[in-house]
Amino acid sequence: MARGRGEREDYEKNPGLLSLLQILSFLVVFVAGVVIGLATSAHINRHFGSQTEIYSFINHFSSNKPNKEENCTIVQGCEKVDCLSMETFLQPKNLTHGMSDDELFWRASMVPGKEDFPFERVPKVAFMFLSRGPLPMMPLWERFFQGHDKFFSIYLHVLPGYKLNVSSTSPFYGRQIPSQPVSWGTVTLVDAERRLLSNALLDFSNQRFVLLSESCIPVYNFPTVYKYLIGSNHSFVESYDDPGRYGRGRYSRKMLPEIELYQWRKGSQWFELSRTLAIYIVSETKYYTLFSRYCLPACYPDEHYMPTYFNMFHGSLNSNRTVTWVDWSLGGPHPATYAGDNITEDLVRSIRNNGALCQYNSEMTSICYLFARKLHQVHWSHCWIWPHQ
């Protein structure tokens, strides 16, 4: 208290000192204000400067967005279509996409959560041709497909670099899919089959999927084949237990414990699948990996992978038989081949009905084979192959 009163008395005796202190206080406040103002201004400039850069980047990015009228893929030759339209999503117009196998399998494995469809859906059969290149039976197949455009799709897997030369009016025009090299007896055959299935699954109208070779022909007309496949409650993958050296003898114990010997199955490569089983095959990786590692010559993955997998997990959805006829009566590693004069009306009639019965939707039927394989030089004029349409 005494010190405070003494200081006040000194100020009263020296008014000049008081004025000097007031001026100094003003200067201190002024300088502080200038410093604060400069700092605030710099912060504001930095903020709006960064925002300007962000907006500039966004505008640049937006200006580079592809117009929906531009090509849908980077692959040359892609059609100019609306990439976001429902029609393009459901039924891709261009098969020459740039997806890798992993990307393709992932895309094909997608399943809609809603059971009903928001569009009119006509179920189609996907005819998938696995060939080295030329299709000598193509004129016959073109005659088979004629007039039924809304009920089928075609997919071709040929050797990379091969271009199928067909007329733009042919149902085979523009139906080649991106392919990879294939070697007989190796897992690359299964890869090609999964590639065909995945491309066909991109079309939501495809309900059934049949694998064919360049030496296959239909032994019934299109309406009969279509009704048979679309109306079936089961897929057609041959699967049986062969106790011999060409069956269980190909089993590898390295597949334990995932696959045991009693689960091992064998069957024809030429299958027909429902959409449900097709999705299972392109989605599955665990058992495919086992077969790619341990099913090596003289084990052939294309004869064992699907028969074993479906037997283990989806047996109730499979008929355990094939709809593609082939003649193994001569024995050996390859079936008999028919060509020229050997292809007669009696041969086709015997394939259609050889006296045997098979099960179809829990009933017995005499129609067991829809296609025949290893037939060459069949001319389109052989109209007797099919009944009158």
Domain covering 122-320 in this structure, CATH number: 3.90.550
- What single-letter amino acid sits at 267? G
Domain ranges in the chain?
122-320
Find out whether 205 and 117 touch, Cβ atoms under 8 Å. Answer: no
Dist. CA 46–CA 63, nearest whole Å: 26
**Cβ distance 141 to 210 under 8 Å?**
no
Q: What is the pLDDT along the chain (389 residues), one digit of tens a residue?
A: 444 444 444 544 555 655 666 676 667 666 666 666 666 555 545 544 544 444 444 344 444 444 444 444 444 444 555 555 666 777 777 788 889 989 999 999 988 888 787 878 899 999 999 999 999 999 999 999 999 999 999 999 999 999 999 999 999 999 999 999 999 899 999 999 999 999 999 999 999 999 999 999 999 999 999 999 999 999 999 999 999 999 999 999 999 999 999 999 999 999 999 999 999 999 999 999 999 999 998 999 999 999 999 999 999 999 999 999 999 887 777 788 888 778 888 888 889 988 889 999 999 999 999 999 998 767 655 555 665 44
* Pick from 234, 237, 358: nearest CA to 308: 237
**pLDDT at residue 97, rounded to an integer:** 86
- Element containing residue 125 per DSSP (H, E): strand 124-130
- For residue 173, the Cα-to-chain-centroid distance in whole angstroms is 20
Which alpha helices (H) appear in the chain, and where do they start and end? 2-13, 15-63, 86-90, 101-108, 138-145, 188-201, 222-230, 275-283, 286-294, 301-313, 345-352
- Residue carrying structure tokens 């990307």: 103
CA–CA separation, 140 and 375 (whole Å): 12
Entry field: residues in the chain: 389
| Dihedral (CA of 321, 322, 327, 330) sign | negative
Distance CA(317)–CA(262), nearest Å, equals: 20
* Distance separating alpha carbons of residues 320 and 79, to the nearest angstrom: 41
Q: Which residues contact 47 (CB under 8 A, 6 or more apart)?
A: none
Quote the CA–CA distance of 114 and 111 in Å, as a whole number. 9
Residue 375: predicted pLDDT = 85
Q: Which residues of 356-373 are buried (b: 16+ CB within 10 A; e: fewer)?
A: eeeebeeeeeebbbbbbb
Considering the entire predicted model, what is its pTM? Answer: 0.78
Structural tokens at position 9: 């008395």
Letter for the amino acid at 334?
H
Token pair for 277? 């089983």
pLDDT at 82 (0 to 100): 56
* Strand 358-360 to 363-365 pairing: antiparallel
